[in-house]
Structure 1
Amino acid sequence: MPNPPTPSDIALRPDDEQIALLRDKAEFVRLETLRLIQIAKVGHYSSVFSCAEIFATLYYDAMRLKRGEPQWPDRDRFLMGKGHAAVGLYPLLVDWGFFSKDVLDGYTRLGNPLGDHPDMRKVPGVDFSSGSIGHALSGGLGMVLGGRAVDRRFDVYVLLGDGEMQEGQVWEAALSAAHHKAGNLIAIVDRNGYQLDGQVDDIIGIEPLADKWTAFGWRVHEVDGHDVVALATLLRRLKAETSRAQPVCVIAKTSKGKGVGYMETEPGWHLGYLAPSDEALAAEEIKRGGKAQ
């Protein structure tokens, strides 16, 4: 069950204007994902839709960034283990002024830097090249330790798929992060229950997930990953803490394909393509009811 709110959570709750902004940005992520996959003719709809509110809350509430300055040294870092959700991230980087919309509109076309997975060498604002599952948490820990060595205390957020919990390197990084007291490392597990081949727990069971992270020396919080109020409040609480000796794992309970009903119940939409008429219907559904709580 999600952790109950505390009095400090109530004080940290975003106001109505900010809540509306976060919901709008999550809808923006979903609609832009539809549009960009229409250009590419194939893509990861449901993987993006499960983490749209996480993207929105990180980029418009939790993370410290400077508009138009993707290489600002004191920025918070963001890494994706589930790099196949990059199509939902790119529009936010454009919105932050890290590169132009013209580049976005050429998504996956020959010579364009934006691929199905993010490349930090080509895409301003991408902090880690991902696609081979399991490496991002190690990279995030390296950034924390690198920042510590030069006396920079930025936070590092790492978004992990729940199927990614089956990778041994994740747990090696988790053990190492606890040992090094990497308190400004925040792992967010998108616990949508599905991976490419089906239900996560049918392939290799990962529960009790919270207990496992706790046993590895992490502080663990569980939250509704589509509730922007709960997400923002939790991440604000973490940001407000002046002394963190333990890394933090946020287990975000989500629905794969959130916002488009049939994608929520059909794992085959991990990778697919919507014909233009179906894309239009999906967009209507997202606008009608896809806004999170």
Structure 2
Amino acid sequence: MNYESKKDRPCADGREARIWYLYVGDVDARLSNYKGTLLKILEERSVRTVYDCACGTGIDSVMLLEEGYKVVSTDALDVFLEKAQEMKQKREELADWQIGVGDWLDLKSAEVDHPALGYDAIICIGNSFCALPDFEGGSNTHLKALQNFKDLLKKGGILIIDHRNYDYILVHKTFPPKSHGSIYYNSNRVFNIKADLVEDEDISIIFRSDMDVSGTELEGDSDIKLKERDGKMVPTLELNNIPMYPHTLKGFTALLKTAFGEEAEHRLLPDFRENEQEDFVPNYWVHVIVNEQ
């Protein structure tokens, strides 16, 4: 199965992009949660070229372009890429930004020109990688994608990739405590969050939640229902998100070591935080691994 084929993509209309923006919340607030640490990592490795292989609407790509990095951006969903293209067309300084459809399982066919010598860094953040099912079983699909990332990196280049704290979610059936916040998705519109484990051909988790769309263009959507929130009835959109593969911390670390080698330098950051207390419960585990070969 190939995400570059439209029939295999997890969602395919512009409405999804509008919902995603509401789910993200304030863009500046999102970036403030991890921008400093991300830029520090890139600076420490003398990174100049970055491949954002799960760029969505381009929030992180544009931030990196503004910081002077040369960025190539792809995503499997062209409805998100349309938003990125709109942003590019509005700003002359983004004229050299390459944007195109890209499938992790066939990156050679991506609609961009990859540098012949490879990238200094690849980023795949926002729990994006977990949207890839294990089509072949035995994590072979995930390993193929990780190997494709590795093949596009220079020697000494880094992959920055993350996943939700599924160890916590599998036990508690919801996200970690709200007091710790979410580094990517900060909307205060989302409520009634539940996590359902599905064990069919592939193991996956489906997050189900409600979104208060009061005062937005989605308020008149045909799927809107009135639901109680904090004692009030509000126009609500039920979110049945795409299935996510529940990578555990131990399991995903093992996958990275298999793809990059047991001796590869590997760094783990809870919610992009450095020197965090041992009892901190992150929403995301962020991995930084070096291509040593």
- Normalised by the shorter chain, which TM-score bucket? 0.3 to 0.5
- Which structure has more strand as a fraction of its residues? 2
- Which structure has more helix as a fraction of its residues? 1
Instruction: Say which structure, 1 or 2, has more relative contact order (CA 8 Å, 6+ apart).
Output: 1
TM-score, scaled relative to structure 1: 0.38
Q: Which has the larger radius of gyration?
A: 2
